[in-house]
Each structure stands twice: as C-alpha cells, then as structure tokens.
Structure 1
Amino acid sequence: MALNPQRTIDELKALRTLTGDEHGAQRVAFTDTWVTARAFLNARLDALPVTQHMDAAGNWWATLPGRSDRTLIIGGHLDSVPNGGWLDGCLNVLAGLEVMRRVSEQYAGTPPVTLKLVDWADEEGARFGRSLYGSSAAGGNIDVAEMQKLRDRDGVSLEDALRRVGVTLTAAPQARKELENAAAYLELHIEQGPVLEGLGLPLGAVLGTVGVERHTVTFHGQAAHSGSTPMNVRRDAFRAAGQLSQEIYAIAERHGGVCTIGSCKTLPGIVTSVVETCEITLDQRHLDAGKLAAMWQDAQDAAKRAADEGGCTVTFGDLWHIEPIPFHPELINAAEASVRQVSGTAHRLPSGPLHDAAEVARSGVPTVMLFVQSLRGISHNKIEDTSEAHLALSVEALDALTDRTIAWIQAQPGA
C-alpha cells in the first residue's frame, strides 16, 4: 500500500463535519463529541492488524506488533478547545494512522519494531484547566490528589468526567507501563504560529518545547486624591508598572525569548484615586534554561528600579514554572532530513506551546516533533488552517521520519 496523504486530508474533513459546527471544532475531552471522535478513529483502526485498548488514564492505543518489542510511538490528540480548529491535535493522530497503514502493508503486518499510535486524553486542558493530562499520567507526572480537586465550569469534577468514560482517576498513574518499551516518540503538529509562513516554508523540525516562568509582579504605592495630589509627590503603583512594561519587552529581545504581560489589576480601581496597588502577570519563555533564568532575574531587577524611582515597593508571586524540554538531537537531525527530503529545504525552530511530546520527552523517551505551516499563524480558532499541499507534505515527512526512526532504533545497542 502506497502512502496516501489525500486520504488523511479527506479523513480530517470528515472528522470536522462529524464533530464540529459553525463555530469550529467541539471535541472537548470526555464529552459525547469527543467519544464520537474516538469511535471515528477506532473504526478506521479496525481495518488494520492492530490491537486496541484504553489505558488506565484514558489514552487510546493501537499496537502493531513487530519482530522486536522495542516500540516506536506516534502520538497526537483528538480533543480540542471549544470552538477550536480542524487540525490542532487530530492531524497528528490521522497522519499517524496513515503511516501505520503504510508500515503494516510494507512489512506484511509485522514491522521490524513494534509500532504504536496513541490518542492522548485531554491534551488541551480546556475543560478542567490541566493540560497534558493523559501524557503526564503516562510519563509519571501527575498528582492525583490535586487533580481530584479540578472542576469544570458546570461544577463537574474531573474524577466524575473520567468515570463516565470508564476511567478511574486514582488508577491513572498505572498508565506509566505504556512507555516501558518505548524507544522513540514522534509527533506531527501544526505550528500554531507565524514563523514558517513568514519564512515561506511548509515544514520545520522542532528543537524542543520552551521553558516557562509565570509570575505576578505587584507594585505597592499610596492611594491619594486624583485632583489634589501633585504629580511630583505621587506614589503611583500603576506608573511603576508602566515603566516595567517598557523594559520587559527589551529584556525578552535581548535574551532571544518572548514575554507577555497578560493582565493588570489596580486598586482602589476608581477614577478619582491614584493607584495604590497594581498587580500584573508576567509570562516569560525560552528554550535555554540559563537564558530563561536570566530573563526572570532581569525582570525582577527592572521592577525594583521602577518601584524605587516611583516611591513604591514591589513583591513577586509564583504562578507556574516548567523547565525547557529539548528533543533528542539525533532525532532532530532525522526530522530535518525528512523535511528536506519532501520539501527541499528545512528549518529548525522551538515550540512555544506545550505538547504531549514534552511530557514523553520528560519521561526519558527519545522524542522529536515536526511542524507544518499554519496560515496566518492562527490556532484555537475556527479559522485555523493549513494549505492542503502542505498537509500532504507533512504526512509524507512523518512517514519518512518513521522509516528513519525505525532504522535508528534498530541500530541502538541491544536492539
């Protein structure tokens, strides 16, 4: 059976019709629509000589046994955000399905290594606020007690939502056994950003997922009457925050990272008072751990200077942190070669968003990702799109990468 990228495109369109509406994709994890999407996948896998099962965390696995139990995993996620795009996550799964078809046919149902396709459960975290749930469970990185506290906007607990689809939350850590023989993990994803489009390139090899420092920065000044307080004696917390905002972007540019001031709250928050308290949220990201740490230190130093100059004080709060997760260097080389093979050129880039691949890599499994260009750089939106020509190239690149990775696994000591 020759690889048929057009079949993947047709299946993506069929899934869009089945699980979307005029507002976009509605495959939110553990909903009826998500269950329908899984049934769509299961029906197509039934035509292959694979076994299928759901693991203890709710991830869905299709296994094509090979001559060796050393396993190459291709992964993605069918779940979407509400009103999401037609490609985010499901491209990964359906392209992997097409590759599995080709490998099965080429090797008469028994490839040199075992091949697995996984649909990770709740990558998005759109419903309960905890992204990468299924891959985190398989990677050994979940706190069940904390997850038992999670509720959606309707008050439904994650535990109850999982129970409805046949999963017991307390058993979720048992999903770790799924990675026991994993020799490599591959994931194809739309870029969700504008870099490849800006370069005029269809595909890229992903270096890893960036680290994130996420904090609150709170300036403390003095409330005073807006009309009777001269400008030169004000201790205006908002003015100090504004001064920091001018510096924070220069810090990101200096270190080659990105940053976002995503929210700003002021107290007392009335038009007739100088701002006494101003809290901003700061998100900083970089692929290099040392440069990420330097960015955060520079931000703190700049905040202290702004506070001192404005007669204010400043305090810092921790929101979230994750270290950069680099992908496997030899698999990055293989990914770049595969991109070059199908498109004639290649580019390496980091991933700003997190992906299931990050949790798999974090667990110690050699991992790499491929990106395909996103039109306008837009994702998590019904207008999310990629040209069909580039979608076809992405399936071809994943297929070429699969062959290279199988050969790489066979060449490893003990294979």
Structure 2
Amino acid sequence: MTNLLQPARTVAELKELRALTGNEDGAQRVAFTDTWVAARKWFRAKLAELPVEVHQDPAGNLWATLRGSSDKSLLIGGHIDSVPNGGWLDGCLNLVAGLEVLRRIAAEGTPPVTVRLVDWADEEGARFGRSLFGSSAASGALVPDDVRNLTDRNGVKLVDAVRPHGIDLDRATEARQELNNAAAYLELHIEQGPVLESMSLPMGVVLGTFGVERHTITFTGQAAHSGSTPMAHRRDALGGVSKLHLAIREIAVQHGGVCTVGKVTTEPGIVTAVVGEATMTLDQRHLNATSLAAMYTAAREASERIAGEEKIEVAWKKLWQIQPFPFHPTLIELCDEAIRETCGTSHRLPSGPLHDAAEVCRAGVPTIMLFVQSLRGISHNRIEDTREEHLELSVGALDRLATKAMAWISGQ
C-alpha cells in the first residue's frame, strides 16, 4: 500500500457523512430527497479538491474523471443513497473508499489509463420500488415507460420526482455513452450477510450476483364458516401457501440456492372463516442460471401438486426477473491477489443482494466486487456495522486492485 493512501481518512469521512445525513434511526439518504442532495453536495466538495472533471449524466449519475494517458477507463463505483433508517456503510463505503483511491492515483501524476469514480443514482429504489435506476439506464436495461408512473407513498410520480434533479426520464438512457471506453469496473461493498464473519475473515472476492425469479402465487379455494365446515369438506387456500412455503425451503437446499416467502395475505382474513384466497410472494435466487431455472420449475410443479392435494386452484404472476451475472475471471483472480496481499487470506462467495455492478456487467464491462465483513450480517438497519480496522483494510485492498486493474487494462 502506498504511503499516499490514508484509509483512516475514509473512516473519518464516513462518520462525517453519517453525522450530516443520519439521525438516531439511521441513514436518511433516500434518493431524490433533500438529504440525498445534501450528501451529494458534501461529496462534490471533496471532489473539488482533486484534478478531476465532474458532471452529472442524463440519468442523474455523478461522474468524476481523472484523465489518463489512455482513453480506456477504469471505473470505480458506488452509491450515496440509502434506504430509510439505513446503515452508515451500505453504498457510501464504495464511494468514499473510491474517493481515497482516486486521491492516491491523482497524487502520483497522470495515470496510465483514465480513472472514473461514479455515484450511481438511486441504487436502492427505496422511494419508488425500482432498484438500480441510474446503472440500469447506463446499461440500457431501463425502459422509461415502465417506471414513469411509479409513485411514492405520497402519490408523487417518479417522472415528476426526478425532474427537479436535472433528470429528464425520456433522455435517461443516454447515460449509456458513459460506458463507451470502460475497460473494467470495481465495486467495494459491505457483505450484508454473515458468511465472512462466521469464517473470521475480513474480506472476500465476489464471484457474481445472483439471478432472481420473483413471483406472486395465488391459491384459490372456498371461503366457509370455521365452525360449521368439517375438515374433510374444506378447500382451504392457506393450506396451499403453507405447504408450498415448506416445499420451497427444501427446493433451495437441494439446488444450492435461496428461496424466500416474504409476504402472505388471506381473504376474507377473519378468524371465523376458512381462507378462500391466499396470496404469497416467492423470491428465488441462484448464481447459476440453469439451477435457478430448475428451482423455478420445481416450485411450479410443487404448487400444482399441492393444489391437487388441497382441492384448490393455483395461479402464478411474474413480478420481476434478472439473470445471474458472473464476474470477470481475470478480475476475480486479481481481486483475490489484492485481498490476500492486504489481509493474508481470502474467500470467494456470491452476492445474494443485487448491486449496480450487475448492471455494469450486463452492459459487457469486465466487472468485479469485493466484500468486507459485516458484523452480525445485518444491513439496511441502523445497527449495520463493520470493524474500523476491516474498513481500513478494505480501502487498501481496493487500492491494490485498482493498481492491478490499471496494469491489466494497459496490457490489453
């Protein structure tokens, strides 16, 4: 690690941002709100101290560009927005650590390739329920008409909420031009899970982001009086949900993925009635596309079998789907080297949560992520935390990875 790098400064700046944009309930940097604007103003002030060009693209992503000897660019990304009552590290660690790496590179003169730091707009999707807004615009996956009329809890439409922040939704996908010369993308993130802590490891290499199948499943039976309807004569829709919930847990284990039922609703929803209709959400995730498809097929077949057993009907409605995004094999190896050189040992693991890195990977840019341990595996919560010594190690590992990635790009 070069002496020009000051990882302790990153920790201090993260605390500074927490004091500016958080309260006793946690971080409040929800995208397209006044607190988010304040956070970006704070970040722009930090960038003003560097020899970089700063601009906002048509999707609201904020870019800082340090020109190098080559137009080929190394991207380092993160997001300053948070969920409501969020943690102090989710998203902004990526960005503030990237800032420190950018400082070190700039202090050494003109880099061999152009280095760009990006703050993606609205990674979390906390206000409108649509995650990865800015990065999906850059990848070309965003369809403006699909999100135009999404509303927040106050009935404000997304198209109207983004306009005051210099974003014309119909021009958002012009952000794709920002990736024209991108040769590699690096993203540091807290793990948000318990794996690294359970192994007593500070950091790990991310192999890729899980693909997701997300559906609503509705079982329809017959509502009836709870006292006068014998058990043998019931067509209890909740029986379908109950059995399928247990079945999908076994399906996840069999295929090495994860399956979650996060919400169940019933009708008529009173204590004196057999459930006539029960609706559940199903979220299935896997790093392997074939295995993800097999989990989905197994869940569909299980639902139909269970419906027959319970003498009820079942219907599926797709909510959302995204394929797995395996990261670049060369960058995986370089990242592993950087972590071992920094921490002494490393571990390779997939990412269950989605990140902007998935959209950059979708766009065809060689991509890698590195995780730093999360205490208790908790995120999206005010108690989210990581040991300060691990945060400093993660800045060092990101810096080493940036150096290796610049050399790799230069040799292409």
- For the criterion TM > 0.5, the same-fold answer is yes
The structure 2 residue matched to 1:50, chosen from 33, 48, 52, is 52
- Cα distance in 2 for residues equivalent to 1:273 and 1:56: 53
CA separation in 2, counterparts of 1:276 and 1:169? 42
Moved over 4 A (4+): none
Match of 2:245 in 1: 245
Instruction: Tell me by how many angstroms 1:224 deviates.
Output: 2.5
Partner of 1:176: 176
Q: Give 2:75's aligned residue.
A: 73
Tell me, in whole angstroms, the C-alpha distance in 2 between the residues paired with 1:335 and 1:324.
20
- Look up the match of 1:266: 266
Q: Which residue of 2 aligns with 1:377?
A: 377
Report the equivalent of 2:35: 33
Q: Which moved more, 1:122-131 or 1:238-247?
A: 238-247
| Distance in 1 of aligned mates of 2:160 and 2:227 | 55
1:406 — aligned with what?
406
Q: Is the 8 A contact 2:219 2:314 kept in 1?
A: yes
Q: 1:386 to 1:174 in 2, by over 3 A?
A: same
Aligned length: 410
DSSP 3-state at the match of 2:282: strand
* 2:100 counterpart letter in structure 1: E
Structure 1 equivalent of residue 20 of structure 2: 18
1:285 corresponds in structure 2 to: 285
Query: Residue in 2 aligned with 1:151?
Result: 151
Q: Which amino acid aligns with 1:253?
A: V
Task: Please list the CA deviations of residues 314-349 of structure 1 after superposition, one character each: whole Å capped at 9, or x if unmatched.
Answer: 221111111111111111111111111111111111
Q: Deviations over 1:353-389 (max 9, x none)?
A: 1101000000000000010011111111111110000
Counterpart of 1:167 in 2: which secondary structure?
Answer: coil
Amino acid at match of 2:26: G
Question: Separation in 1 of the partners of 2:29 and 2:41?
Answer: 12
State how far apart, in whole Å, the 2-side matches of 1:234 and 1:154 are: 41
Amino acid of the structure 2 residue aligned with 1:31: T
With over 3 angstroms needed to count, the CA separation of the structure-2 counterparts of 1:222 and 1:158, relative to structure 1, is closer
Distance 1:229 1:219 in 2: 19
Larger mean CA deviation between 265-274 and 358-367 belongs to 265-274
Query: Which residue number corresponds to residue 63 of structure 2?
Result: 61
Question: Shift of residue 145 of structure 1?
Answer: 1.7
* Structure 1 counterpart of 2:306: 306
Q: In the alignment, which residue of structure 2 is the partner of 1:228? A: 228
Match of 2:90 in 1: 88
Distance in 1 (CA, whole Å) between partners of 2:197 and 2:203 is 9
Q: What is the SS of the residue equivalent to 1:30?
A: coil
Correspondence 1:218 to 2:215? no
Letter in 2 for 1:92: N
Secondary structure class of the residue paired with 1:395: helix
Alpha-carbon spacing, 1:246–1:159, altered in 2? closer, same or farther (3 Å) = closer
2:261 aligned counterpart, secondary structure: strand
Classify the secondary structure of the residue corresponding to 2:395.
Answer: helix
Percent identical across equivalent pairs? Answer: 63
CA apart distance, 1:192: 0.8
Q: Distance in 2 between matches of 1:245 and 1:93?
A: 38
- Does structure 1 retain, via aligned residues, the 8 Å contact 2:58–2:166? no
Counterpart position of 2:142: 142
Deviation at 1:154, TM superposition (A): 1.8
Distance 1:40 1:336 in 2: 33
- How far the C-alpha of 1:160 sits from its partner, in A, is 2.4
SS across alignment from 1:350: strand
d(CA) in 1 for partners of 2:218, 2:35: 42
360-369 or 191-200, larger mean C-alpha shift: 191-200
Aligned mates of 1:135, 1:397 — CA distance in 2: 24
Question: Unaligned regions of 5+ residues in structure 2, if any?
Answer: none
Q: Does the C-alpha gap of structure 1 residues 199 and 137 become closer, same or farther in structure 2, counting only changes over 3 Å?
A: same
Shift of 1:313: 2.1
Query: What is the CA distance between 1:193 and its match in structure 2?
Result: 0.9
SS in 1 for 2:77: strand
Range that drifts further, 169-178 or 68-77? 169-178
CA distance in 2, matches of 1:246, 1:161: 41
In structure 1, distance between residues paired with 2:252 and 2:72: 42
Counterpart-to-counterpart distance in 1, 2:189 and 2:280? 32
Task: Give 5+ residue unaligned stretches, structure 1.
Answer: none
Q: Mean Cα displacement is larger for which, 309-318 or 345-354?
A: 309-318
The 2-side partners of 1:240 and 1:149 are apart by 34
